[in-house]
Structure 1
Amino acid sequence: MPDTLPPALLRAPHRLAFLLGMLSALLLFAAWFAELASRLGPHVITPQIPAVMAHALLMLYGIFPLFMTGFIFTAGPRWLGVSPPNRLRYLLTPGLMAAGVAGWLAGLALGKSWLLAGLLLYGLGFASLTLCFAGLIWRSPQPDRRHALVVLAAFVLGLAGVVAAGCWLFSGNGAYWLIMRDLALWGFLLPVFLTVCHRMLPFFTSSVLPDRQAWRPYWLLAAMVGGSWLHGLLLLSQHSSLLADLPLTLLFGYTSWRWGLLPARKVKLLWMLHLSFAWLAVAFGLYSVAGLLPALALGLAPLHAITVGFFMTMVIAFVSRVTLGHSGLPLQAGSWLWRVYLAVHAVALSRVVADFVPPAWVACLYAAVALCGLLALLGWSRQLIGLYLKPRADGQAG
């Protein structure tokens, strides 16, 4: 009966996780803008831990894993042919993670105990995600679970990164921060994004453009994810990552073309996914240039080509698609979504370019980029948050 249904926000795994992901992204971008803007005036905000180190922890773990939770709890059971997690699990997991992020933000002002308490809450949520997904894989009758197993391996590495963050916060040893950063980026986030892209982009493309045959050989998945892990291992061992970067540049460029970057422009919602994926060839091209020409200082341009160019725009593309589809709405990129999406690309490009401008401009440009990112996320969230709070438009469950 309708009067026995739970509130709309609680009815499907993606709703609360996506909502908390959006709120977390807005809070973190607002906090980062405030810190950067304060550098332009006489009263500089000084967090309890170095701002750049806090920025890495918060941006890598504070935004994307929440969206991953909603996606994996929604798509994962379909991949594996099992029932989705129960309501307690799919509400508690992102709830703990979001509470942990809130604790981290409080800890930047109040001290180490808040940071560690936040990390404990976050770690419990992340462990819940990892164990729950492992349970889904264990129960799955599907003979081919390779995508899910790669995601699970990445989750385990992400959990190891959370442990490394705890060691860093507890001891103050920056070496643990480096381990956390590289595990989070190269061991966890990039492999999960790549695995989901390998499974979903060719499928979406062939569904929308019937003349395009889905191309997703498993050697490609192994090469992409293995390349990410190799890059991270080389960095952790303090070696040049050029051995991984050059092949990945060529591989991502070819894959982007083979998956249909140009034909996909006929359908904006599909093209959004392809345009986001195209950032990978740019990012690893920059890493390759940095490795070949060390004297040419590229700063953090390659890193932000991945984190803002690829991660952030891909999250907007995927989350928008899942939200529209699971809200009973047409899978179409309206003008508002398309403009916001392009704005985030502009933010990513601006952040990459910021490492090449005269030093006198850098502080202002950093603050401007953070503000533009915040405004773009506000525009995106404003259109979607309401959908998580009301039933599907088509009257179906979910």
Structure 2
Amino acid sequence: MIPIEEPARASAPRGFALFNLAFRPFYLLAALFTSISVALWVAVLQGMPWGGYLSPVLWHQHEMLFGFGLAVVAGFLLTAGRVWTGLPTPAGLPLALLAVHWIAARILIYAGPASVAALVDGAFPFVVAAAMARVIVGSKNQRNYFVIALLGALGVANLAFHFGFWGLSLRAALWLVMALVIVMAGRVVPSFTANALPRAGVVIRPQLDRVALAVTLAAFAADLLELGAAALAPLAFAAAVLHVTRQWRWAPFATRGRPILWILHLSHAWIPAGLVLLGLASLGLVRAAAPLHAFGVGAIGGLIIGMITRTALGHTGRPLTTGRAELAAYVLVHLAAVLRVGASFSPGAGTVTLIAISGALWSAAFLIYFATYLPRLARPRLDGKPG
């Protein structure tokens, strides 16, 4: 189990706390950026002129992974790293400069020049990896050494993109983020469920988690190495069965009345769904976009909206309960996922229409998060604790 939040009773917060801990600026930046960037992507699909130096497709794919996704990863890990190790992670001016670094990368990826964009954007994952290495290695927190390696691998994938290996780098980045999602979901989803619903009968099987991860990584490797359907399809289908098996033991249906829990279970369910679609895509039975968006919008997007609400509530000393804003954001993200995956099955002009509606729902979800959590994350914790 990993403690990543510390709920406490409420009191009136005063002062400015945006740079007290990494989740504060990076969750807000990620939410605002993805709502704007996806809206821009949809507008381009509808015929709006494009002014970026990359093609709009490459820009969209890169920014969903290395812009939005990496911002959430940075905010989550730099916050969790302090809890895991007891050592300080960037705060105050260093954290503000890290946020400025990320913002500069977003501007440069759109406007160029390409060489400066590669330098600034390419450095960001390594800066985050160095900050995590300082606390994880410094505390000999061996359980989380993989985080440093994963951030480094994301950095290499990002550099590969800037050197023109677009397809390989984007695919590798998606699978790396999915690997992190699978590991962290295996830790937090059953733990949170068991803590909130002790009578639900949650069963945690670490060995099953390891086997599910290994088979899934093998499927991802088969995809990256283009080994073909004979290798990829059986691995993807086997991995899907393993993920369904492990989630079944987490008592997902016991969470029906708890949005802050069912959002995590519903989002995790997109992992086996995506694996089934990945196997079918390798056999030529569905478009390649279907599994990619099942993973990207459903699994990653769903777990992100679930975790950035939950951890923000906990780390600001608020009760772990959801209101209408959170519920709306949860529903909108999953509707966006259904429509975006559905667009892969839609003929002709219907595809663009479904993508546009999906993008609008996604943008609305994260705008709701930004508007709701901006005052919460800009102010100190309700309980007066640091963070």
TM-score normalised by structure 2 residue count: 0.89
- Residue in 2 aligned with 1:67? 72
Q: What code does the residue aligned with 1:191 have?
A: A
Tell me, in whole angstroms, the C-alpha distance in 2 between the residues paired with 1:120 and 1:363.
Answer: 34
The answer on whether the counterparts of 2:18 and 2:377 sit within 8 Å (CA) in structure 1 is yes
- Residue in 1 aligned with 2:131? 132
- Residue in 2 aligned with 1:98? 103
Tell me, in whole angstroms, the C-alpha distance in 2 between the residues paired with 1:216 and 1:117.
Answer: 47
**Deviations for 1:82-138, whole angstroms, at most 9, x for unmatched residues?**
34345444333333123201211223xxxxx2x332232222221111111122221
Give 1:166's match in structure 2, choosing from 162, 165, 177. 162
The answer on whether the counterparts of 2:274 and 2:291 sit within 8 Å (CA) in structure 1 is yes
What count of residue pairs does the alignment treat as equivalent?
371
Go from structure 1 to structure 2 and tell me whether the alpha carbon gap of 1:271 and 1:141 turns closer, same or farther (over 3 Å shift).
Answer: same
**Deviations for 1:136-189, whole angstroms, at most 9, x for unmatched residues?**
2211145xx32x122222212101101101211xxxxxxx11221122011x21
**1:212 CA displacement:** 4.5
Q: What code does the residue aligned with 1:151 have?
A: V
Tell me, in whole angstroms, the C-alpha distance in 1 between the residues paired with 2:317 and 2:85.
Answer: 23
- Residue in 1 aligned with 2:145? 149
**1:64 CA displacement:** 1.3
Q: What code does the residue aligned with 2:145 have?
A: L
Q: What code does the residue aligned with 1:139 have?
A: G
The answer on whether the counterparts of 1:98 and 1:122 sit within 8 Å (CA) in structure 2 is no
**1:290 CA displacement:** 2.8
For structure 2, the 5+ residue unaligned runs are 1-13
- Residue in 2 aligned with 1:334? 323
The answer on whether the counterparts of 1:13 and 1:91 sit within 8 Å (CA) in structure 2 is no
Give 2:312's match in structure 1, choosing from 299, 318, 323. 323
- Residue in 1 aligned with 2:33? 24
- Residue in 2 aligned with 1:173? none
1:76 aligns with 2:53: no
Identity among equivalent positions (%) equals 27
Q: Which runs of 4+ in 1 moved over 6 A?
A: none
1:208 aligns with 2:196: yes
Q: What code does the residue aligned with 1:397 have?
A: P
Give 1:289's match in structure 2, choosing from 280, 285, 296. 280
Tell me, in whole angstroms, the C-alpha distance in 1 between the residues paired with 2:208 and 2:359.
Answer: 35
Tell me, in whole angstroms, the C-alpha distance in 1 between the residues paired with 2:278 and 2:20.
Answer: 43
**Deviations for 1:283-340, whole angstroms, at most 9, x for unmatched residues?**
111122333x42x233411110110011111100000001111222211011221122
TM-score normalised by structure 1 residue count: 0.87
Tell me, in whole angstroms, the C-alpha distance in 2 between the residues paired with 1:352 and 1:265.
Answer: 24
Tell me, in whole angstroms, the C-alpha distance in 2 between the residues paired with 1:217 and 1:95.
Answer: 41
Go from structure 1 to structure 2 and tell me whether the alpha carbon gap of 1:287 and 1:236 turns closer, same or farther (over 3 Å shift).
Answer: closer
Tell me, in whole angstroms, the C-alpha distance in 1 between the residues paired with 2:347 and 2:91.
Answer: 54
Question: SS of the residue aligned with 1:373?
Answer: helix
Go from structure 1 to structure 2 and tell me whether the alpha carbon gap of 1:214 and 1:136 turns closer, same or farther (over 3 Å shift).
Answer: farther
Question: SS of the residue aligned with 2:163?
Answer: helix
Tell me, in whole angstroms, the C-alpha distance in 2 between the residues paired with 1:140 and 1:216.
Answer: 27
**1:216 CA displacement:** 4.1
Tell me, in whole angstroms, the C-alpha distance in 2 between the residues paired with 1:211 and 1:90.
Answer: 41
**1:190 CA displacement:** 0.8
Go from structure 1 to structure 2 and tell me whether the alpha carbon gap of 1:97 and 1:370 turns closer, same or farther (over 3 Å shift).
Answer: same
* Segment of structure 1 superposing worse, 19-28 or 346-355: 19-28
Tell me, in whole angstroms, the C-alpha distance in 2 between the residues paired with 1:212 and 1:149.
Answer: 32
Go from structure 1 to structure 2 and tell me whether the alpha carbon gap of 1:378 and 1:283 turns closer, same or farther (over 3 Å shift).
Answer: same
The answer on whether the counterparts of 1:119 and 1:166 sit within 8 Å (CA) in structure 2 is yes
Give 2:44's match in structure 1, choosing from 35, 44, 51. 35
Q: What code does the residue aligned with 2:332 have?
A: A
- Residue in 2 aligned with 1:51? 56
- After superposition, residues 223-262 of structure 1 pair within 5 angstroms as 223-240=211-228, 241-262=232-253
- Residue in 2 aligned with 1:172? none
The answer on whether the counterparts of 2:273 and 2:294 sit within 8 Å (CA) in structure 1 is yes
- Residue in 2 aligned with 1:195? 183
Question: SS of the residue aligned with 2:41?
Answer: helix
Tell me, in whole angstroms, the C-alpha distance in 1 between the residues paired with 2:329 and 2:215.
Answer: 31
* Segment of structure 1 superposing worse, 132-141 or 66-75: 132-141
Go from structure 1 to structure 2 and tell me whether the alpha carbon gap of 1:6 and 1:226 turns closer, same or farther (over 3 Å shift).
Answer: farther
Tell me, in whole angstroms, the C-alpha distance in 2 between the residues paired with 1:286 and 1:192.
Answer: 20
**RCO higher in 1 or 2 (8 Å CA, sep ≥ 6)?**
2
Tell me, in whole angstroms, the C-alpha distance in 2 between the residues paired with 1:346 and 1:198.
Answer: 24
- Residue in 1 aligned with 2:269? 278
The answer on whether the counterparts of 1:94 and 1:125 sit within 8 Å (CA) in structure 2 is no
The answer on whether the counterparts of 2:336 and 2:357 sit within 8 Å (CA) in structure 1 is no
Q: What code does the residue aligned with 2:171 have?
A: D
Q: What code does the residue aligned with 2:25 have?
A: L
